[in-house]
Structure 1
Amino acid sequence: MYTAGAEVFFEPKKVAVVGASPRPDNLGRAILENLLTGFKGKVYVVNPGYTEVLGLKSYPSVQAVPDEVDLVVVATPARLAPRVVEDAGAKGAKGVVVFSGGFAETDTDEGRRLQEEVVEAAKRHGVRLLGPNCIGVYNYSNSLDTFFLPRSKMKRPPPGPIAVVSQSGALLATLMDWAAARNLGIGKAINFGNKADVDEVDSLEYMAKAPDVKAIVVYLEGVTRGRALIDAIRLNVNEGKPVIVVKGGRFQATARATLSHTASIAGSYDVFKEAMREAGALLFEDLEAAFDAAKVLVSQPLPRGPRVGIITNSGGHGVIAADTVTAEGLEVPETPAAIVSSLRQVFPDRVSLRNPIDLTGDARPEQYKLVAQALVKGGLVDSLLLISLVQPPTMDVDETLRTIELIRDDDEGIPLVVVTIGAEAGVKLARALEELGIPTFELPDRAARSLASLLHFRRARDLVKSKGPAPTVPKEASVRAKEIIQRALSEGRSKLLEDEALELLRAYGVRVADFCVARSEEEASACAEKVGPRLVMKVISPDISHKSDVGGVLVGVTPKSAASSYRAIINNVKSRAPGARVEGVLVQRLESGHEVMVGGLNDMAFGPVVTFGAGGLLVEFLGDVTMRLSPLGQEEALEMIKATKVYRLLKGFRGETPANIDAIADIIVKVGLLLNDHNEIKELDINPILANQETATAVDARVIVARGGGQAVVR
């Protein structure tokens, strides 16, 4: 049982490096050199082949070190790693970093066996394991640096409030080098590789408690502890720390690559996107954009609202900025007449004062302050985007710098980003502004997207805080559902019969079209009299997936024609699917209304997910589907419905009779509870649900079950 978290890797006092040697190309030596550069704790060398390495005594084993050891860094071939981890555990180490490749990421029996041995050795001693197949940890605050990359070849960035959590080691290393070249401050970084133990969840839980971390950039490929990841992200969001996520393996071809890269399987990206939205994370598909957002999020206050004031001395730059701001869901409000009238006393007619405010190519720095003050003091904007191109002779660099600093100081509660570009003057201004904590960008679209991330985070934080408890169902409902599922599993079936699927829904309070099961012509007539007057009849068979294809469905049946319809269905199936088992015929009342679909699945990473969309064939044709993690409440279900195109039809588009939206939402909630309570349900589809002004009724249902389908989730 583990009691320690990722802090054992970031905050050790005594570190042992196993495998370091005097050879210049030895990876352990590079790690040792990095630690000796400034690490504030003690460092020991373990290598039985040497008595001394880089002036330090070398010990034959970790247990031979005459001192306590907190962290053991393993830079040996993979075949030796299990023995070293065992040695470290026996010594009482709290954490072990295994750099070597050659484990599960090779997708070989030998690699998997070695990884299992390493994990078991760590578990026996309660040691936290980072890796294998990783580069370890970087912590500026105590100069801990376990990267095996020499500082002469990979620069370390300046200190800063950004942390980086990466599943890929090479990506992390090059990002750190890239950040150093751009003077972007990073204070902490961790790579967990195959994440045989420590993963992104442990890393984020640590970052939430780290006082010097203000934002975290996360690169992920595969996710295993999905709900725990959501909780860890929310932990940071509730602390006011944005979590900025980039996901690798979004498509089928790249998802295959993640398996060979870090022994992780990439799940559905659609589910991942929804999980990140509900967690409060900011999801990016571009690494540069992710770091742009981080730079702004750690340096600027959150805006009160969506209104952006754009002040520029280039019309083209201003148009691009306005387009991007609008595309990101923010607003570029038109300048009110009173403010225009006031500014027009100072500016000639060629200056556009509408927002974007284009001061034109002969603008002067002091004019930016005049306009910014008018917009902010006039209550027109919640944030400012300045485009200050310093190539014109009227734009003195030093004066522009002083003016922008004054704008920042006068309006401290207003987020501010600046666009400036150029080989010399632009670079000089950008560097000076960055030193003042004012984020700059070379291109207006990058600046606009980054500025938008502030409002996106504010909304994400508010969403997380508004999460309420999910509803529950009576115990007897769960018991009845369990009986239905277990009966199918005990008979070796992975698919519920249609009457079982409808009974399952009914157990959870979902309204289903009245039905009964007939096993003879006489029973068909009796069922029809009971259920009638307008009916549909369907064959019940565990062997037939598409009933209509074998003549197993008849619509428009009446009580008088029920017996002959039963006979026709049985004969059709005998001739078209002669080997199929027939369990009876479902006699069901015909319903009317708008067709919608509610479904769900048990995602391998995030557990139960409920979906909603247009029903019938339209669900596949339109792809008009929304999803939420379950369980969920009525308000979330209503949001799902409103986010679809079919919502307009349900509201009564062009005189159509509207549907009972609340009744549909009620089904979504109950299906979410059903999925959450019964992890044996692998897939569920109710298609169609017929919704009219009074009710929403499930007509057809398909349920796939399996033993050990996942874990139920309580939220």
Structure 2
Amino acid sequence: MDISHCTALLRTALDPRSIAIIGASENPNKVGGRPLRFLTQFGFRGKIYPINPKRTETQGLPTWAALEDLPETPDLAIIAVAGQAAFDAIDACGQAGVKIAVVMTGGLTESDPVNGKQKEREMVARAQAHGMRIIGPNSQGIANFGTGAIASFSTMFVEVPPMDGPVGIISQSGAMSVVPYGLLRQRGIGIRHSHATGNDCDVTACEMATIVAEDPALKVLLLYLEGLPDPHRLAQAAAVARERGLFIMAIKSGRTAAGQAAAQSHTGALASEDRVVDAFFRQHGILRAKDMREMVDGVELYLKGWRPRGKRVVAISTSGATCVMAADAIASTGLSLANFSDGTVAKLREALPPIALPNNPIDLTGAMLTDSSLFGRTLKALAAEPGIDAFLTGLPVSGAGYDVPRYSRDAAACIEETQRPFLCSAAQPSVRDAFRAQGVPTFETETDAVQALGRFVAHWGLVESMNRRIAAGCIPYVGVCETLAGEASMLDEAGSLALLAKAKICTIPHQECDSEESAVHAFQAMGGPVVLKGCSASVAHKTELGLVHLDLRDETSVRQAWRDVSAAMQSHGLLPVRAIVARMAKGIHEMMIGAHRDPLFGPVVVFGAGGKYVEALPDVAMLLPPFSREDVKSGLASLRMAPLLQGVRGEPELDVEAFVDSVMRVQDLMADPLQYIDSIDLNPVILRPVGDGCVAVDAVVYRTG
């Protein structure tokens, strides 16, 4: 089906001129009754056609016996019947020319992964034969509160009345399409879209996101994903969002290590499916949330139009304990306490009572109980401070004697004057209500507030990093990733090192040997110490088989190493016997660079701390091409070992630039269609002091074709 036609059909689903409900029910609390109730209750402007052969009227609307009896072909059909009747309804819709159907029918893949999947394929084939799209099956429905097109049976819309607003929600789960709706409505935030795509047998959540992201009313798009079979669609949605200034947050649940099975290289196993998803989200400026609370807590910050200038926060409270906990939360979230200029300190000394210190956090003490102007004076003293990027006030206890309405007005005035983020934490609902009424985002605890602010600032950082990368020419790929044809086969170490050397990646000087005498000659040519390693395209990891002998310093030890390696290779059937003799590399730290081709996301590059414990104690960063040198440096800075790269305890600063060069060249190799590389494993890469470069001493490359 033509892509532009598919897109047009999805747009129709969000703003149809007419809707048919197949299986319409008089009972507004049944699956076939809820959509009918919602369409009439929430102001759908189009035609509504209930279909039920047993009725002539349903919930006060004329009812038809069959789809073919309707006076026109509806744009959208809701299929709320079970079993074979659902398949018959799809046939009827296709024959009638319906453009898109929301299939609420369950009991397919979610109940029987094998037979259910086959039935879903049959369902899609029947629809596509007529040029029709399917949302579902097992879909709770879709809801556009901007148009009143509520093709859903969710109980949430009964319990929590809708209000149109700047937030969109798309979920593969019915429940998770409305849980954030309920949480945000409690905060007075309106929702424009709430769509549950169900089993995604045709229209997927990511494809729906490409259309919803076009809505000019949206400022935030929330996604709940259990699977990500079409990341290119999400990449397209992110590209639309980038053009519009729309922020996307996502929960990707179902975290598994299934992606490891696709990785043949030693370090490719570090690039598990979940880690690749993280890298993909970062590349496209999508903030990943761990749970629903993380995703919804900071939504209001985006709606204020704030653009954080940095990470420096001032915390103000009436409690010393709250000040301490706020400081801890700020430090643990990656934010920092703002430092005050001398001018600001002087203003604070004038504003604060003698017992309060002009330090950050600012403890206003119990003086606020007798001086209602203290809070406002303090904010006024801080407003012109250029070193403050955000304000946090914590009011753990307020009530009789505290002029909370005045405090909230003072906070609103500070926001108006500074145009910087301002958050309030308060345990009492009445205090939060007062601040919320003045447009101040509120939270129950200072930790909740700081964490929401931290995620907001981090998300802006992701987006700005993405924009810089794009400006430098590293434009994220939004197409379907091509897979290499054929089965991948391993090059032996000599072949792997030769390929890398040709790509200008610094590799250890070595000679390939096929006899004891040639090994001795290689040693004599290089001088000691050397390493002797068995060389076979059948073995990736040689140490476990006794094929690696280190620190050989004389001819006798080289001869013995050859004999031991030769015997080991023969015992394992690794013939003919071949080995490489290489210089022992000296350096400061062992690093690694790995890459593999993910079947969904394409090339993935991993780099970081190397050596034999790389899998047991992983300390690596991951990037998806195309990426820049700055991306690599940022990845290195995120590692636990990052301080070691600058030199510690008398060690010299290391040649990070040379290591970045190697990572960039591995990226180029993976991107070169003529190389047919499936995976690369460089471990260890010996990193040396600045000016001395780095060198790959062990390499495994898999190629196809």
Question: d(CA) in 1 for partners of 2:59 and 2:678?
Answer: 57
- 1:437 aligned partner, one-letter code: G
Write the distance in 1 (CA, Å) between the matches of 2:515 and 2:503.
Answer: 30
Q: Does residue 1:686 correspond to 2:682, yes or no?
A: yes
Label 1:687 to 1:403 Cα distance change in 2 as closer, same or farther (>3 A).
closer
What is the percentage of aligned positions where both structures have the same residue? 29
Superposition deviation, residue 389 in structure 1: 5.5
Q: Does 1:696 align with 2:689?
A: no
Whether 1:585 and 2:579 are equivalent positions in the alignment is: yes
Report the CA distance shift for 1:219/1:36 in structure 2 as closer, same or farther (over 3 A): same
Measure how far apart 1:47 and its partner are.
3.3
Task: State whether structure 2 residue 565 is matched by structure 1 residue 569.
Answer: yes
**Alignment partner, residue 299 of structure 1:** 304
SS at match of 1:620: coil
The structural deviation recorded for 1:319 is 2.5
Give distance in 2, aligned partners of 1:346 and 1:125. Answer: 74
Q: Is the 8 Å Cα contact of residues 419 and 443 (structure 1) preserved in structure 2?
A: yes
Superposed CA deviations along residues 667-705 of structure 1, whole A, max 9, x for unmatched, are: 111212323346965543111122334332222122345
Residue 356 of structure 1 deviates from its aligned partner by 2.0
Q: 1:382 aligns to what?
A: 389
Q: CA deviation at 1:40?
A: 1.4
Q: Does 1:446 align with 2:448?
A: yes
Q: 1:144 to 1:318 in 2, by over 3 A?
A: farther
- Other-structure match for 1:79: 84
Q: Determine if contact 1:222/1:267 at 8 Å carries over to the other structure.
A: no
Cα separation, partners in 2 of 1:343 and 1:662, compared to 1, 3 Å: closer
Letter in 2 for 1:108: P
Counterpart pick for 2:119 among 110, 114, 119:
114
Q: Is the 8 A contact 1:308 1:384 kept in 2?
A: yes
Which one is further off, 628-637 or 160-169?
628-637
Residues 1:658 and 1:366: Cα distance change in structure 2 (over 3 Å): closer
SS in 1 for 2:448: helix
Matched residues in 2 for 1:463 and 1:138: separation? 34
Q: Which shifted more, 441-450 or 86-95? A: 86-95
Task: Give, in whole Å, the separation in 2 of the partners of 1:41 and 1:61.
Answer: 19
Alpha-carbon separation, structure 2, partners of 1:75 and 1:325: 50
Distance 2:351 2:506 in 1: 69
Residues 1:681 and 1:446: Cα distance change in structure 2 (over 3 Å) = same
Task: Work out the CA distance in 2 between the residues paired with 1:525 and 1:619.
Answer: 32
1:22-37 matches, cutoff 5 A: 22-23=26-27, 26-37=30-41
2:341/2:385 contact within 8 Å kept: no
The farther-off stretch of 120-129 and 160-169 is 120-129
Q: Counterpart of 2:265?
A: none
Rounded Cα–Cα distance in structure 1 between residues aligned with 2:234 and 2:469: 16
**Structure 1 residues without counterparts, runs of 5 or longer:** 256-265, 473-481, 708-715
Q: Which residue in the other structure is 1:552 paired with? A: 547
Q: Which residue of the partner structure matches residue 621 of structure 2?
A: 626
Which one-letter code corresponds to 1:320 in the other structure? M
Aligned equivalents of 1:615, 1:602: Cα separation in 2? 20
Answer yes or no: is the 8 Å Cα contact 1:300–1:415 preserved in 2. no
Alignment deviations for residues 566-585 of structure 1 (CA, whole Å, 9 cap, x no partner): 444222333x42x4444632
- 1:45-87 deviation digits (Å, cap 9, x = unpaired): 2334444433334334434422132111111214333433333
Q: Provide, for residues 322-358 of structure 1, a one-character-per-residue CA deviation record: whole Å limited to 9, x for no partner.
A: 3222322222224444433334345322223312222
CA-CA distance at 1:466 after TM superposition: 0.5
Letter aligned with residue 700 of structure 2: R
Residue number in structure 1 paired with 2:16: 12
Q: How does 1:360-439 map to 2 (within 5 A)?
A: 360-363=365-368, 364-388=371-395, 391-411=398-418, 413-422=419-428, 426-427=429-430, 429-439=431-441
- In the alignment, is residue 135 of structure 1 matched against residue 140 of structure 2? yes
CA distance in 2, matches of 1:129, 1:504: 48
Whole-angstrom CA distance in 2 between matches of 1:60 and 1:76? 14
Rounded Cα–Cα distance in structure 1 between residues aligned with 2:354 and 2:659: 56
User: What does 1:123-272 align with in structure 2 at a 5 Å threshold?
Assistant: 123-150=128-155, 153-250=158-255, 268-272=273-277
Alpha-carbon spacing, 1:12–1:312, altered in 2? closer, same or farther (3 Å):
same
Q: Which residue of 2 aligns with 1:258?
A: none
Find the aligned partners of 1:674 and 1:518 in 2 and give their Cα distance: 27
Does the Cα contact within 8 Å between 1:157 and 1:179 map onto a contact in 2? no
Q: Partner amino acid for 2:422? A: L
The change in CA–CA distance for 1:343 and 1:179 in structure 2 (over 3 A counts) is: closer
Q: Aligned in 2, Cα 1:309/1:543: closer, same or farther, shift over 3 Å?
A: closer
1:414–1:690: structure 2 CA closer, same or farther, 3 Å change rule? closer
Counterpart in 2 of 1:475? none
How many angstroms does 1:231 deviate by?
4.2
Note closer, same or farther for the CA distance 1:636–1:212 as it changes in structure 2 (3 Å cut).
same
Secondary structure of 1:418 counterpart? strand
- Whole-Å separation in 2 of the counterparts to 1:127 and 1:163: 25
Q: Is the 8 A contact 2:603 2:624 kept in 1?
A: yes
- Separation of aligned partners in 2, 1:517 and 1:369: 78
CA distance in structure 1 between the aligned counterparts of 2:272 and 2:34, rounded to whole angstroms:
36
Q: Which residue number in structure 2 is paired with residue 602 of structure 1?
A: 597
Contact 2:27 2:33 in 1 (8 A): yes
C-alpha contact (below 8 Å) 1:299/1:438 kept by paired residues: no
CA contact (8 A) 1:159 1:186 kept: yes
Contact 1:596–1:614 (CA under 8 A) maintained in structure 2:
yes
Residue 20 of structure 2 contacts residue 78 of structure 2 at CA under 8 Å; is this kept in 1?
Answer: yes
**Closer/same/farther in 2, CA of residues 529 and 83 from structure 1, 3 Å limit:** farther
Contact 1:157–1:183 under 8 Å retained in 2: no
Q: Deviations over 1:475-515 (max 9, x none)?
A: xxxxxxx9xx99xx6xx764332223223323433232234
Per the alignment, residue 638 of structure 1 pairs with 633
Superposed counterparts of 1:652-667, under 5 Å: 652-667=647-662
The alignment of Structure 1 onto Structure 2 pairs a total of residues equal to 674
C-alpha distance 312-225 of structure 1, shift in aligned 2 (>3 A): same
Which letter maps to 2:662? I
Structure 2 length-normalised TM: 0.86
TM-score by length of 1: 0.85
Of 534, 540, 544, the match for 1:539: 534
Alignment deviations for residues 246-295 of structure 1 (CA, whole Å, 9 cap, x no partner)? 22123669x9xxxxxxxxxx963222222222221222213223212112
Residues 530 and 200 of structure 1, relative CA distance in 2, 3 Å threshold: farther
Indicate how the Cα distance of structure 1 residues 454 and 23 shifts in structure 2: closer, same or farther if over 3 A, else same: closer
Residue 498 of structure 2 is aligned to residue 500 of structure 1 = no
SS at match of 2:249: strand
How far residue 115 of structure 1 moved from its aligned partner, in angstroms, is 0.8
> In structure 2, the residue corresponding to 1:653 is in which secondary structure?
coil
2:313/2:388 contact within 8 Å kept: yes
In 1, Cα distance between equivalents of 2:77 and 2:340? 62
Report the Cα distance in structure 2 between the residues aligned to 1:682 and 1:60, rounded to whole angstroms.
57
1:414-448 Cα shifts (integer Å, max 9, x gaps): 222222332xxx42x43344344322222111122
**Hey, what's the Cα distance between the residues in 1 that align with 2:180 and 2:488?**
50
DSSP 3-state at the match of 1:619: coil
Specify the code of the residue in structure 2 equivalent to 1:415.
P
Query: CA, structure 1 residues 536+301, in 2 after alignment: closer, same or farther (shift >3 Å)?
Result: same
SS in 1 for 2:596: strand
Rounded to whole Å, the distance in 2 between the matches of 1:637 and 1:380 is 29
User: How much has 1:27 moved relative to structure 2?
Assistant: 0.9
Which residues of structure 2 form unaligned runs of 5+? 261-270, 476-482
One-letter code of the match for 1:687?
N
